[in-house]
Amino acid sequence: MNKILLIYTGGTIGMMQDAKLGTLRPFNFKHLTKQVPELSRFNLELHSVSFKKPIDSSNMHPRVWIELAEIIETNYNTYDGFVVLHGSDTMAYTASALSFMLENLSKPVILTGSQLPIGIIRTDGKENLITAIEIASAKNKEGKALVPEVAIYFEYELFRGNRTLKYNSEHFDAFQSPNYPVLAEAGVQIIYNNNSIGKASAKKLSVHKNLDNDIVVLNLFPGISKKITEAVLSISGIKSVVLHSFGAGNAPTDDWFINLLKQAIDKGLIIYNVTQCLEGRVIQGKYETSSQLQKIGVISGEDITLEAAVTKLMFLLGQKLPSSKIKNLLSQNLRGEITLVK
Ligand code: ASP
């Protein structure tokens, strides 16, 4: 019988309304499972662990990702798959972070949550939870996991975790994976898009637990000033900047702007160019407004999401590698987070 471990971190799925304040706050795991009696009807062994204090995922932090990765590491050989219950707000960040931290994965790690608490009659949480468990335990004829990667299941779709973003705070259909096909669709049957699902690694799982959050996102907008750009680039201790750029990776061509970036790079800062567009990619050199970036050594994020870029940087900086190596790895596809075009 398949064994699945359910890890409850918090999020709307398990929340209840505070009687006095009327706000939604995380509740304990017993409450959640009581709402889903269907869990006992699965033909699999389902065990669970819960964070002592479940959190709203807006309180998510790299230290919690380390805790999560440790739970998966400790239980890796005992279970066939993992389902992580998580708030939807930062789920795409957690899925991205776990994809980098869990190297050589050969078992499913499926994150899910909901837009409405599981105790509410119209909840989307039940379907999300039940199908996520089914996907985490799905195997092929050879007995190998069908989805040996970190993925997000939400509202009938399964996405590669490090390709997702939360784009809707209102609809049940809250996630998108604009630059990568869905991994599976759940209707009457669950149809797996096997060509897009990553292959299981034959190597031993290696869990990376050092993350370095000395990074900043510089979000460009027309009219961004010299004093703000200068202040961001000279924050003490930062090691890397995500340059959240326009269109195909474009930025102002003002001399002061390019000079500030160049000085920062010369000082050792790693600048990673990630587009504000949800679809498409950074192509440095396509426009005049990005050719200078290429020349001064800004690294192209290709079609990476902001969520994956931030966590990839935390992961790589945490490895304490030489800057040249980090830059090289940023340009490479490590866990299916970018598509490189030749
Ligand atoms: N604020 C909630 C959270 O991210 C929203 C959700 O779960 O959907 O924890």
Question: How far lies 192's CA from each of 12, 145, 183, 186, in Å?
Answer: 27, 12, 6, 9
Q: Does 17 have pLDDT greater than 90? A: no
List, for residues 230-273, the tens digit of each pLDDT value. 999 999 999 999 999 999 999 999 999 999 999 999 999 999 99
Position in ligand 1 atom list of the atom nearest CA 58? 4
**Adjacency order of strands within the sheet including 109-112:** 45-55, 3-10, 81-85, 109-112, 150-154, 157-160, 184-186, 190-192
Return the residue matching tokens 């050989």: 77
Region 52-80: mean pLDDT is 96
- Of 24-38, 116-130, 232-246, 253-267, the least confident: 24-38
Query: Does 32 have pLDDT greater than 80?
Result: no
Q: What is the pLDDT of residue 226?
A: 98
* pLDDT for residue 168: 96
Residues 57 and 162: their CA atoms lie apart, in Å, by: 17
Q: 2-207 and 215-330: same fold?
A: yes
| Helices assigned H by DSSP within 236-322 | 255-266, 288-296, 306-318
Give the CATH architecture of domain 215-330. Answer: 3-Layer(aba) Sandwich (3.40)
* Residue 12 annotated as catalytic: yes
171 CA distance to ligand 1 middle (Å): 13
Distances (CA, A) of 71 to 98, 112, 129: 12, 17, 19
Residue 245: enclosing H or E segment and its boundaries? strand 240-245
pLDDT in tens, 146-163: 999 999 999 999 999 999
Counts for the chain of helices (H) and strands (E), in that order: 9, 18
How long a stretch of residues is the chain?
342
Is the pTM value of this prediction over 0.75?
yes
Residue ranges of domains in the chain: 2-207, 215-330
> 112 CB under 6 A from ligand 1?
no
Residue 312 has pLDDT above 90, yes or no: yes
Cα 294–chain centre separation: 27
In whole angstroms, give the CA distance from residue 154 to residue 243: 29
Q: Answer yes or no: is pLDDT of 30 > 80.
A: no
**Cα–Cα distance list, 184 to 133, 151, 195, 230, 245 (Å):** 14, 10, 11, 45, 31
pLDDT of residue 29: 75
Task: Give residue 37's pLDDT band: very low, low, confident or very high (50, 70, 90).
Answer: confident
Ligand 1 atom with the shortest distance to the CA of 55: 9
Instruction: State the average pLDDT for the chain.
Output: 95
- Class of the domain covering 2-207: alpha beta
The CB of 113 under 6 Å from ligand 1? The reply is: yes
